[in-house]
Amino acid sequence: MDSILNINEIASWGLSKTVAEFFYIIIGIVFILVGVKALRDKNHSSRLMTAAFWFILAFTFIAGPYLPKFITGIAVVAIALLTGARQVKPSQSDVPSAEETRKNADKLRYKVFLPALVLALAAVLIATFWKDLGANNAIGASALVALVVTFLVTRVNPKYVPKDGARLMDNVGTVGILPQLLAALGALFTAAGVGTVIANGVQAIIPEGSKLIAVAVYCISMALFTIIMGNGFAAFSVITVGIGIPFLIAQGANPIIVGALGLTAGYCGTLMTPMAANFNIMPAALLETNDKYVIIKSQAPFALVMLAVHIILMYLLAF
Amino acid sequence: MDVLKLIGVLIVVVGFALKLDTIATVVVAGLATGLVAGMTPMEILTTLGNSFLTNRTATLFVLTLPVIGILERYGLKDKAVDFIRGIKHATTGKILSLYLVIRAFAAAFSLRIGGHPQFVRPLINPMAQAAAQAKYGPLPTKTEDQIKGMAAANENFGNFFAQNCFMGASGTLLIVSTLNEQGLTDVNALNISGASWYIFGAAVILGVMYNYLLDRRQERVLKGGK
């Protein structure tokens, strides 16, 4: 059993950990805003359940670390019940009209790109030159810098900071939490020894010490699993724990290269599967094609070449 | 029975393939895996809660949303459309290649300019079709379909293979938190986004070549049309 409120542990947090918790509180506030937005939407078909989803999520982000961990576990099961019952839906947002965005665009012109460039570049600079802060905190820090630049460029009314933040979060929706859940699933798989079972099975096809074949098996498995599931993120947590870590990283491969190229190897599968309907099938309907698989057919040769490129690059760069 | 431990993998595969709710699928897979491995319900909830909290890293992209939302209000997409409209006198392949490059850089710099409904249908596909018509006259339906397929494909190429170059991309953060969770603590958003430029480069170079081949094929099939 872990303790309720461990003051000693909190007191031992360094700069990086303290700043991280500060950013998680801000993320929690964004979730609360999305929940409040749902509560205020009188025409929403399940506003209480939707608000409950966002409030529970916010609770885990803000209070989770200070409470026994099983409470967050229960919260995770609760949000899964809510989405599983299809009770979480987007609510009415203040979407800017086409006239409004056009008028603003004509006024600002290409200056509108500046804050976005700052957002990306500041993250890299902060992570490179302020190592004590921690690279992951650089994302939040760069968001703050970019927000200041946004104010300078647009002179926006500050009320749009929470408003547009909540609007986009609602737009991303419940799947925004999926990467975090999948990474957590990877941890459960490891605790339960799933990786070892997959590894024992795969061992048969990877000859001892053959790095090239191990790389090929990992990349092709990423693509195949993505083709079956239609989701590269889900494939990544399963295949990396089962194949990537035991057969590549444990054999001396650079985890940065394996991770970065592993996920995009999965995306080669996304390009070839009707399971990824929102990328490959719905756009065909949108473009009114005669052949509804024409996008997949256009992508397949490119995807196969890219998969081969992934294998070659990973082999050359990781060892 | 060691194979039973794969129940979680099976649940994820089946759940995603059948398009069941993704969050519920993942949580059920986690609970089932824990039970089969002989963990007590309390141990499962503690492990799940603990790993959910340590993996909050994967959700850091939320911090970038207010800036991006305000920029959309101030015409980010309108200006991207203006920029692409400025391309004139190009072949189908060149228009698609230019869009690929713009789309890839936009994704790498966190600009949400893309999307099939917002860009490909109203802008890229009509421009690509018009370029071919200007050169070869009215197009056979099959060619029209082919151009539509390639226009949608370039949107996906640029989006997929460039997005992880941004430190705050959810894919980047997924890689970071999955590997950190497995004890590989040297991995962070900076080095994953840096390593993602290899694939950015490969996708852009190969994509431009692929679009060039489309021009060549059009020339071969449609030559003498006009």
pLDDT score at B16: 83
Q: How confident is the model at residue A163 (pLDDT cuts 50, 70, 90)?
A: very high
> Which residues in chain B have their CB less than 8 angstroms from residue A236's CB?
174-175, 178
Q: How confident is the model at residue A187 (pLDDT cuts 50, 70, 90)?
A: confident
Single-letter residue type at A225: F
pLDDT score at B1: 62
Mean residue pLDDT across chain A: 90
Say how many CA atoms lie within 13 Å of A212 toward its Cβ: 4
- The ipTM estimated for the assembled molecules is 0.88
Q: How confident is the model at residue A276 (pLDDT cuts 50, 70, 90)?
A: confident
- Report the candidate in B91, B94, B88, B84 with the shortest Cα–Cα distance to residue B120: B84
pLDDT score at A4: 56
Q: Which of B82, B154, B167, B200 to mutate to test the interface with A (most CBs of A within 10 A)?
A: B167
Q: First and final CA of chain A: distance in angstroms?
A: 42
Q: How far apart are CA B119 and CA B43, in angstroms?
A: 48
Q: Say if the Cβ atoms of A255 and B179 lie within 8 Å.
A: yes
Positions of chain B with pLDDT lower than 50, given as ranges? 226
Length of chain A as a residue count: 319
The SS3 of residue B219 is helix
B152 touches chain A (CB under 8 A): yes
Region of residue B38 (left: phi > 0; alpha: psi -120 to 50; beta: else): left
Percent of chain A at pLDDT > 90 equals 60
Sign for the pseudo-dihedral over CA of A219, B201, B193, A227: negative
Q: Say if the Cβ atoms of B26 and A80 lie within 8 Å.
A: yes
B192 touches chain A (CB under 8 A): yes
User: DSSP code of B59?
Assistant: G
Single-letter residue type at B126: P
Q: How far apart are CA A43 and CA A163, in angstroms?
A: 19
Q: For tokens 């303290």, name the residue.
A: A18
A169 touches chain B (CB under 8 A): yes
Structural tokens at position A223: 């693509």
- Report the candidate in A266, A226, A279 with the shortest Cα–Cα distance to residue B152: A279
B145 touches chain A (CB under 8 A): yes
Report the residue from A116, A134, A193 with minimal CB separation from B5.
Answer: A193
Of A176-190, A208-222, B89-103, B184-198, least confident by mean pLDDT is A176-190
> Which residues in chain B have their CB less than 8 angstroms from residue A286's CB?
116-117, 120-121
Q: Say if the Cβ atoms of B178 and A299 lie within 8 Å.
A: no
User: Over the stretch A90-138, which tens digit does the pLDDT of each residue have?
Assistant: 999 888 998 998 999 899 888 988 998 898 889 889 988 998 888 889 8
pLDDT score at A1: 43
Single-letter residue type at A70: F
User: Over the stretch A47-70, which tens digit does the pLDDT of each residue have?
Assistant: 999 999 999 999 999 999 999 999
The number of helix segments (H) and strand segments (E) in chain A equals: 16, 0
User: Over the stretch A225-261, which tens digit does the pLDDT of each residue have?
Assistant: 889 888 888 889 889 988 999 999 999 999 999 999 9
Report the residue from B5, B77, B174 with minimal CB separation from A233.
Answer: B174
Q: Where are the alpha helices (DSSP H) in A173-287?
A: 178-192, 194-203, 211-229, 232-239, 255-270, 277-280, 282-286
- Report the candidate in A162, A141, A171, A61 with the shortest Cα–Cα distance to residue B168: A141
> Which residues in chain B have their CB less than 8 angstroms from residue A121's CB?
109
Please count the other Cβ atoms lying within 10 Å of the Cβ belonging to residue A14: 10
Sign for the pseudo-dihedral over CA of B158, B162, B163, B168: negative
Query: Could you give the angle at which helices A135-154 and A98-108 cross, rounded to 10 degrees?
Result: 90
**A75: pLDDT strictly greater than 90:** yes
pLDDT score at B79: 84
Query: Could you give the angle at which helices A160-172 and B65-73 cross, rounded to 10 degrees?
Result: 100
Mean pLDDT of A139-153: 93
pLDDT score at B197: 97
What 3 state SS string does B162-175 have?
A: HHHHCCCCHHHHHH
